[in-house]
Structure 1
Amino acid sequence: MTAIDINSDVGESFGRWHLGDDAAIFESVSSANVACGFHAGDPSTLAQTCRDAVAAGVTIGAHVSYRDLAGFGRRFVDCTASELADDILYQIGALDAFARAAGARVRYVKPHGALYNAVVAHEAHAQAVVDAIQAYDDSLPVLGLPGAVVLKKAESQGLRGIVEAFADRAYNADGTLVSRREKDAVLEDNDTITANMIRLAKAGVLIARDGTEIHVDAASICVHGDNPHAVATAAAVRRALEDAGIEIRSFV
């Protein structure tokens, strides 16, 4: 691999409540997963985030979620596929309005939190994500875990599925993410993180927490923006990859 994308979750502040340092993150990433108001983000936050992303030359993606503002989108919502598709279509359209006002547009879609984990295997909700994207703009790629049902459904319907890996999360042997409810689910040691990401970029391998080798053909690496060490981690990952001869650029 000679190039890879780095993405981060941004735009997650709400009113007077602030989360993350988006401006600093934009110095290291090539793509921005911008909250769309359903798990985080208010209109002014979304507008400013899009302007800042454009100024930094960072690609804008829609970080769509279950309707769960109180739970930060980390709780499964047992809604119908039709309701979910409408919610996702609403979110993409809202963020795209702000992106266009800033001189850009939404270039991809990434589910957030519980929705991201659900569409690894949940057939109906994975289909809802794909249906919403197809209804809005079938040129938009969708990000997901390797082997996720949502990626398979996207590709079967002519959409582009993008496999991503997580720099700051621990993996189970089956390639899923260790639940945040479990100890050591979030990685904090930058030496470990950067070594993992260099191995991923050069060999296509991630190491699960039990030592299992997971083979992943990832086009993008995620660093979570709400992690207290996110800015330092993103900078360390970018620097390590570039030092290893890997170019950082958006997948779109």
Structure 2
Amino acid sequence: MPERHTNLHTNPHAHSAYQGAIDLNADLGEGASCDEQILALVSSANIACGGHAGDEDSMRVAVQLAQQYGVAIGAHPSFADKENFGRKIQAPPYDHLAQDLRDQIITLMRITAEQGAQLQHIKPHGALYNQAAFDPVLADIVIQVMQEIAPQLSLVALAGSPIVARAQAAGLHVISEAFADRRYRRDGSLVPRSQPDACIENTKEAVAQSLQLIESQQLYCDDGSIIKVQADTICVHGDGSRALATIQALRRAFDERGIQVRRPACTS
């Protein structure tokens, strides 16, 4: 097992003159108990819309809370797979997947409109997110659905992955995303959750990885190599057992280093 670089050549408690800004997002509306505490600290929320978790009631609550805290609202559609929380690799018929995504996104769009709010972005969830990042066919399904029903919204996608350039070429605005609480492979993909060390449970390591991403645009991979990653937003998974503690630690570290937490520019 490669050595874990928990400091990543940076001290999370050091002060600096860095005056940058980053969007901090979390996946919410998934049945976790601390959504409101998290929404008070992040700038964007990706709301589960029925594919892997959530229903219309949970969507309404999440939208109301996001409005209360001034958080950008995004749809978090998934493979229709609540049994596996949307995290199992799937190969559904393409027309069925496209319709599932339309239904999920349109449902949340309707609910946000009923609440007087506005959807800002779409971020696929789980296995769909990771597969579409590198699979051009799945990427094109996500892109096509957005072009059909919400071309004005931003697509949140894995920073540096092929879907980013593909969506931009199709005319979509892309928000490139990196993760505070996941480990990476040399090709820029996330270590699969089937691997025992895929998730970062150590809060200090998650903070150090995030600071390195923001200030140096690089991170260590699971084999010890270093890759360049340019991200507009950093995600903490809201269903993780350490989610709230990690976000609280990130906000403290960001404040110490002059890093502002700011929602992305509105494209709609």
Does TM, scored on the shorter chain, surpass 0.5?
A: yes
Q: Which one is further off, 207-216 or 56-65?
A: 207-216
Contact 2:109 2:118 (8 Å CA) reproduced: yes
- Asked if the contact 1:170/1:177 (under 8 Å) is kept, the reply is yes
What is the CA deviation profile of residues 114-144 of structure 1, one whole-angstrom value per residue up to 9, with x for unaligned ones? 1011112211111000011111121111111
Per mean C-alpha deviation after superposition, the further-off stretch among 84-93 and 215-224 is: 84-93
Does 2:23 match 1:10? no
Unaligned runs of 5+ in 1: 14-18
For 2:250 and 2:82, the matched residues in 1 are separated by 30
d(CA) in 2 for partners of 1:122, 1:172: 17
SS in 1 for 2:171: coil
CA-CA distance at 1:80 after TM superposition? 2.8
CA distance in 2, matches of 1:75, 1:157: 28
Equivalent in the alignment of 2:190: 177
| Corresponding residue for residue 39 of structure 1 | 52
| Range with bigger deviation, 180-189 or 58-67 | 180-189
- Matched-pair identity in %: 40
Change (3 A) 1:105 1:144: same
How far 1:49 sits from its partner (Å)? 0.7
**2:90 counterpart of 1:77:** yes
The within-5 A match list for 1:131-142 is 131-142=144-155
User: How big is the shift at 1:71?
Assistant: 1.1
> How far apart, CA to CA, are the structure 1 residues paired with 2:43 and 2:143?
24
Residue identity in the other structure for 1:3: A
Quote the Cα distance in structure 2 between the aligned partners of 1:196 and 1:77.
30
In structure 2, what is the equivalent of residue 56 of structure 1?
69
| Number of the residue aligned with 1:16 | none
1:166 and 2:179 are equivalent in the alignment: yes
CA apart distance, 1:103: 2.0
Gaps of 5+ in 2: 1-18
Q: For residues 59 and 201 of structure 2, what CA distance do their matches in structure 1 show?
A: 28
The one-letter code sitting in structure 2 at the alignment partner of 1:51 is Q
Matches within 5 A, 1:107-186: 107-186=120-199
8 Å contact from structure 2 (residues 161, 189) kept in 1: no
Amino acid corresponding to residue 180 of structure 2 in structure 1: A
Which one-letter code corresponds to 1:27 in the other structure?
A
Aligned 8 A contact 1:129 1:150 in 2: no
The one of 215, 219, 232 equivalent to 1:202 is 215
Q: Deviations over 1:75-112 (max 9, x none)?
A: 22212333222221211110111112222111100010
The structure showing larger relative contact order (alpha-carbon pairs under 8 Å, at least 6 residues apart) is 2
Is this contact kept in 2: 1:119–1:148, CA < 8 A?
no
User: Which has the higher mean CA deviation after the structures are superposed, 150-159 or 108-117?
Assistant: 150-159
Aligned to 2:113: 100
Greater CA radius of gyration, 1 or 2? 2
Distance 1:105 1:88 in 2: 18
Question: 24-33 or 184-193, which moves further after superposition?
Answer: 184-193
Letter in 2 for 1:25: I
**Count of residue pairs the alignment pairs up:** 247
| Aligned-partner Cα distance in 1 for 2:97–2:137 | 9
Post-superposition offset of 1:20 = 3.8
Deviation at 1:149, TM superposition (A): 2.9
| Counterpart Cα distance in 1 of 2:181 and 2:110 | 31
Cα distance in 2, alignment partners of residues 178 and 20 from structure 1: 26
- The AA in structure 1 aligned to 2:27 is D
